[in-house]
A and B are shown apart, each in its own frame.
Chain A
Amino acid sequence: GQQLNQSPQSMFIQEGEDVSMNCTSSSIFNTWLWYKQDPGEGPVLLIALYKAGELTSNGRLTAQFGITRKDSFLNISASIPSDVGIYFCAGRSGAGSYQLTFGKGTKLSVIP
């Protein structure tokens, strides 16, 4: 099935560093979502974006809906050990479509 291009696939960072990951698509999306998944659990919603150009923050997390509607990025500032996990971007193409298309995930490891 269709998937978004998410990068990087994995990253190792020092505690306190900032993190940036992004997601691109060949198709336009009307909604972009960012989820985090811990081992043995389901994805947990971090940030939802509904408008091109929208920039939204949730604590140390900031995400933007690309102006072309084909990309989104997620930044994490001042990383802490509990940020470890897999981050997924997901997009919904628009009216009449109920499915989310997911990226393959970015695995984040934080070195204390």
Chain B
Amino acid sequence: DAGVTQSPTHLIKTRGQQVTLRCSPKSGHDTVSWYQQALGQGPQFIFQYYEEEERQRGNFPDRFSGHQFPNYSSELNVNALLLGDSALYLCASSLENRRHSPLHFGNGTRLTVT
């Protein structure tokens, strides 16, 4: 039973560039959430995707966008990268129609912006 998988594991980008991060949810899950975790902090909610649509968004600018595909996998895109975007980006999945389906997290993508 495959868990949540994310790629790449590490990424180094330059300020102003754009980046795409990828996530495959746990087998059987249909909902994907993205979180940003700065060093020494707890994860912060970016947005959640269900049925290929963004249904809730946290306090992040429009530079952060996403997509969910018919196979439930998801991408996180960040444009015009800033130094402050350096963080661990976590993808989490759950099952919409199961009561009390907690989030299962992947191991994240470590993004460094120089």
Contact = CB atoms under 8 A, between A and B. Distances in A.
B42 A44 contact: no
Contacts of B90: 42-43
Contact of A99 (B4, B41, B58, B100): B58
A40 B109 CA distance: 10
Contact of A88 (B42, B58, B106): B42
A100 B45 contact: yes
A47 to B, nearest CB: 10
A29 B89 CA distance: 25
Size range of the interface on B? Answer: 20 to 34
A1 B105 CA distance: 20
Contacts of B98: none
Interface string B4-39: 100000000000000000000000000101010000
Interface residues of A, number: 26
Interface stretch (A12-20, A58-66, A72-80, A101-109): A101-109
Nearest to B50: A98
Given A3-B42, A88-B42, A105-B42, A100 B59 contact: no
Interface in A1-43: 1, 3-4, 6, 31, 33, 35, 40-43
A7 B48 CA distance: 28
User: Which 10 pairs, one residue from A and one from B, show the smallest C-beta to C-beta distance?
Assistant: A102-B42, A42-B105, A99-B45, A98-B56, A98-B48, A42-B107, A48-B102, A43-B105, A1-B59, A41-B107
Interface of B: 4, 31, 33, 35, 40-45, 48, 55-56, 58-59, 90, 92, 100, 102-108
